[in-house]
Amino acid sequence: MSTLSFPRSARLLTPDAFAGPLKGRRVATGALLMLHAGPAVAGVPRLGLVVGKRHAPLAVTRNAIKRVVREAFRHQAATLPPADYAMRLHRRVGELSLTVLKRQVRAEADAHFARARRQAGPRPNPGGQP
């Protein structure tokens, strides 16, 4: 994925696709979000989001969280190791303004994806150049 798009091939769409990452290892946990990773089925990083009404009762809040996490993923997908990732909201969202919530979610998502990159170790160079 050389562009900053989020094509259908980069998304987890079915419950079966979510099963692998959610049963896989937990990569990172933050104040609001938790990142799970499973084996790469498609050979590229793919993202699925679990943002339920239980933790974010307002649709505008759920949609904002999903939008921000997708944006963070799009910007970092090229550097992530191939795996299926599931980002899950695991704690109730408090009384925050949307601006503050978006900043917090973006900071957490960036940190979680950075941790996933670090845990995978250095990526092999396909061109053979140092």
Residue 90's nearest CA partner among 40, 45, 36, 39 is 36
Residue 45's nearest CA partner among 4, 5, 11 is 11
Q: With 90 as the cut, is the pLDDT of residue 97 above it? A: yes
Residue type, 107: A
What pLDDT is stored for residue 109 in this prediction? 97
Q: With 60 as the cut, is the pLDDT of residue 19 above it? A: yes
What pLDDT is stored for residue 18 in this prediction? 94
**Helix, strand, or coil (residue 60):** helix
What pLDDT is stored for residue 121 in this prediction? 62
- What average pLDDT does this structure show over 66-86? 94
What pLDDT is stored for residue 128 in this prediction? 45
Tokens of 47: 């993202």
Spatial CB neighbours of 90, under 8 Å, sequence gap ≥ 6: 29, 32, 33, 34, 55
What pLDDT is stored for residue 5 in this prediction? 78
**Domains of the chain, with CATH numbers?**
8-119 (3.30.230.10)
What pLDDT is stored for residue 123 in this prediction? 53
